[in-house]
Structure 1
Amino acid sequence: MIVGVAVVPHPPLLVPELVAGAVAETEAVRRACVAAGKRLAALSRDWLAIAGDPHFHGLTSADAVGTFRGYGVDKIVSLAEGAGADDVDPGLPLPVLAAGWLREQAGAARVVVQTIDPVGSVNDSKRVGERLARQDRPVGLLVLGDGSSRHPGPSGHPDERSVGYDLGVREALATADLDALLGLDVELAAELNVSGRAAWQALAGAAAGRSWRAELLYSDAPFGVGYHVACWEPA
């Protein structure tokens, strides 16, 4: 059974070692993500995570250890307490690394990460969430995904539709509106480079049939990318 949900983005800038010259500028979103993680860990230290990744679709077990070396710093993260650093996988996807980093910051015991196609259909994403919800133990659900990267900012490819799209995401996460999440447009998300759409729709599948209290901890696009942080608990 899913006992709580934390929704977070997964940019490398969450990790202070990767943004040595801009730690203060990234502090607000980092603080919100860690706060969401700690709230989830207070409900369960055993996590499942869901995220979209364009290259790897599958399950990363909790015994994995990875590194942010590909993002500039050899920062080691593990998906479970007590995991050694002797067998580091240099190819773990970014959302898996972010899940491991947040697990460590929040004090969770372990996280198993399911990555799915970020441009997959609504029904495919929903079915993954429904499957994740069929757990015989209490688990926290960590949902990782960014909003549009086409907001005005350093990306250099602004699209005015990004503001409205991320506003819809913000409102859906702030109110636990499952229908609104399932109604997010797949093609428009691809055009706006929204990496989190499939994961948010998997959340809708996982949360179906239950009432939830939602709280939005952060929603902004400080670097031209939409980032949303929310916590859901059973009502």
Structure 2
Amino acid sequence: MLVAAAVCPQTPLIVTGLPELRAACRTAVAALRAARPDVLVVVGGAETTRSYDGAAAGTLRPWGFDVTVGEGAPVLPLSLTVGRRLLNDPEPPSGPPPATGAEGVPAQVLARDAGGVPAQAVAFAAAPAECRAIGAGLAALGRVALLVMADGSACLTPRAPGRYDEAAQPYDDLIAEAVGTADAAALAALDPVEADRLWVTGRAALQVLAGAAEGTPLTGTLLMRSSPYGVGYFAAVWS
């Protein structure tokens, strides 16, 4: 059963820049840990679908950041590497104090270190039904929390990585509304063809979340939304 979820951007810039968005992601991660899940899983898009155990390593060196998670040869895709890094973010959250557990212990220390957190990659091109099935399988593991790494459209402005498209903003609005209200049905209905055209790399991961949350009464909060480089970034919590 899915007991909590967080949606954060997969951009490597979240590691060293974008301080307000990074702080919102820390708040989202704290909420996941405050839910005291039996299992915490990082979910993100990749070229192929596969699972990784908690010992798998990843690096951001190809993107110009001397940041590595785990030990051994780096095998994690970008999205899962950034997610694992967020789980071990050394800086305290800004704003109000983090949520605490029943014994008053800060939520950040209620979960095991991110080095033991398994990860699930889902192919960018995976069909919606396949994504939802992966999510349902994760939700069946027990009391599960998901850290979902997902960007919106990369076609929001003329200087965006993708070619500017006036349809990108409405599509991003739809995603923001869905992650902000825990609307699993809306995420499940995302059109993969349109998502591909608008460079929505987070579509498959969001539909894994939809599959995990199906039939679960969660509420959502959109902590922050931004698009500083013409790419849609979201930080949201479902609980």
Q: TM-score range by the shorter chain?
A: 0.7 to 0.9
What amino acid is aligned across from residue 158 of structure 1 in structure 2?
Y
- Deviations, residues 179-202 of structure 1 (Å, cap 9, x unaligned): 211111111000001011111111
Take 2:85 and 2:136, find their aligned partners in 1: how far apart are those partners? Answer: 26
Partner of 2:118: 112
Partner of 1:4: 4
Partner of 1:47: 40
Shift of 1:92: 2.3
Shift of 1:153: 5.1
Partner of 1:131: 137
Partner of 1:151: 156
Percentage identity across paired residues of the two chains: 35
What amino acid is aligned across from residue 4 of structure 1 in structure 2?
A
Shift of 1:50: 1.6
SS in 1 for 2:54: coil
Matched, 1:140 2:132: no
Partner of 2:74: 90
Take 1:91 and 1:177, find their aligned partners in 2: how far apart are those partners? Answer: 32
Partner of 1:99: 83
Shift of 1:127: 0.7
Q: Scaled by the length of structure 1, what TM-score is found?
A: 0.86
Indicate if the aligned counterparts of 2:59 and 2:68 stay in contact, CA closer than 8 A: yes
Indicate if the aligned counterparts of 2:43 and 2:148 stay in contact, CA closer than 8 A: yes
Matched, 1:201 2:207: yes
SS in 1 for 2:236: strand
Shift of 1:66: 2.4
- Deviations, residues 54-80 of structure 1 (Å, cap 9, x unaligned): 2x32011101222221111321223xx
Shift of 1:140: 1.5
SS in 1 for 2:200: coil
Take 2:144 and 2:135, find their aligned partners in 1: how far apart are those partners? Answer: 13
What amino acid is aligned across from residue 28 of structure 2 in structure 1?
A
Unaligned runs of 5+ in 2: 90-107
Indicate if the aligned counterparts of 1:146 and 1:196 stay in contact, CA closer than 8 A: yes
Partner of 1:14: 14
Unaligned runs of 5+ in 1: 17-22, 79-84
What amino acid is aligned across from residue 33 of structure 2 in structure 1?
A
Matched, 1:76 2:68: yes
Q: Scaled by the length of structure 2, what TM-score is found?
A: 0.84
Take 2:2 and 2:216, find their aligned partners in 1: how far apart are those partners? Answer: 10
Indicate if the aligned counterparts of 1:2 and 1:135 stay in contact, CA closer than 8 A: no
Indicate if the aligned counterparts of 2:42 and 2:117 stay in contact, CA closer than 8 A: yes
Question: Residue 188 of structure 1 is aligned with which of 177, 191, 194?
Answer: 194
User: What do you get for the CA RMSD once the two structures are aligned?
Assistant: 1.6
